[in-house]
A and B are shown apart, each in its own frame.
Chain A
């Protein structure tokens, strides 16, 4: 097996990445071809170990450095603590909304019904009244016409209505 593996090329970029990025292998899991190659190839094994070591050092140094820098940083300003938890607050808000709806909907329905009833009553009242007014106004108009037709001729217009009396008046004046 060693002779066969040593004749194969070294790990590819993807295989190296896979081995470095993969989580720690469990003892019972089967060896991948890349892992089998590393077991047989000293050069790849050494390079992989060195890279793993360097990456671990990088993480450790960055963590220590960040912790050191954080000591000088101002503390995080926290928002005011809620009196009730978020979940509880949501529940209270939902209940309040439901109560408002429960009170508002029947009131709205009642209001609509009363408005509708008032509208119906109003329309029922106004119809005969309109007919009554219409009849009254027609009668009044006819009465006016009759009165005007039967009215006596005014004094100023008497001469026109009776031309004979006009001539008598002019004779008396000339005398």
Chain B
């Protein structure tokens, strides 16, 4: 599947004029449209390819079983991400996950993700710096608390609005904001410590 297909996702499935069918009845289309997004979110959350694959499959099976409860009060994508989030939460709370986390053969390495930085950067030096930044953010996000990481990923990876995140996580708006700001502060601190930015910051302060 081409990368450009999953950078922007449809907010909802188009339904034929005058027909009020459940969009989840056409599961093949739903999977084709949203599998990359669900997999991306689970991969960034769990950092394990095998677990992300399994839970992506499970997300669509759950969605299929519960399609009768989908009331179209949110986009299909948001609803699927909510299912995936619950599955990931259940998965990470099992002792088995904690045991295998450290020795997982399919654990995602920050450098692997960083190597996928878009090649728009002109010089190899700029590309290297961009890769370092991405790897540092990936590491920092991994070190966040489960709740901070989830909220950060929902906002900056899945681009959900804060009220949507509050709905998906079941947390009050204020709590979502405070967790998000703390996560961003951790990233900002790591960012400031990066050699490139630290040098630029010092130069500005000297001026």
Contacts and interface: CB of A to CB of B under 8 A. Distances in A.
Interface string B31-55: 1000110011001100001001100
Contacts of B137: 54-55, 58
A79 B64 contact: yes
A99 interface: no
A35 B103 CA distance: 46
A16 B185 contact: yes
Contact of A51 (B21, B159, B161, B188): B188
Q: Is the interface of B mostly helix, strand, loop or mixed?
A: helix
A60 B31 CA distance: 21
Give the interface size class of chain A. Answer: 35 or more
A118 interface: no
Contact of B3 (A16, A21, A23, A64): A64
A73 B53 contact: yes
A30 interface: no
Contact of B204 (A43, A65, A74): A43
A114 B31 CA distance: 58
Contact of A57 (B44, B64, B115, B134): B134
Contacts of A61: 113-114, 116-118, 134
Interface residues of B, number: 64
A107 interface: no
Contacts of B162: 21
B134 A73 contact: no
B39 A66 contact: yes
B157 A21 contact: no
B112 interface: yes
B86 interface: no
A86 B49 CA distance: 33
B7 A63 contact: yes
Interface in A45-95: 46-47, 50-51, 54-55, 57-71, 73-74, 76-79, 81-82, 85-87, 90
A70 B157 contact: no
A54 B134 contact: yes
Interface of A: 13-14, 16-18, 20-21, 23, 42-43, 46-47, 50-51, 54-55, 57-71, 73-74, 76-79, 81-82, 85-87, 90
12 contacts: A17-B180, A17-B181, A17-B184, A43-B204, A47-B191, A57-B134, A61-B116, A63-B3, A64-B118, A65-B43, A67-B40, A76-B35
Given A68-B116, A79-B64, 10 more contacts: A58-B157, A60-B117, A61-B134, A63-B40, A65-B43, A66-B40, A67-B3, A74-B53, A79-B61, A87-B21
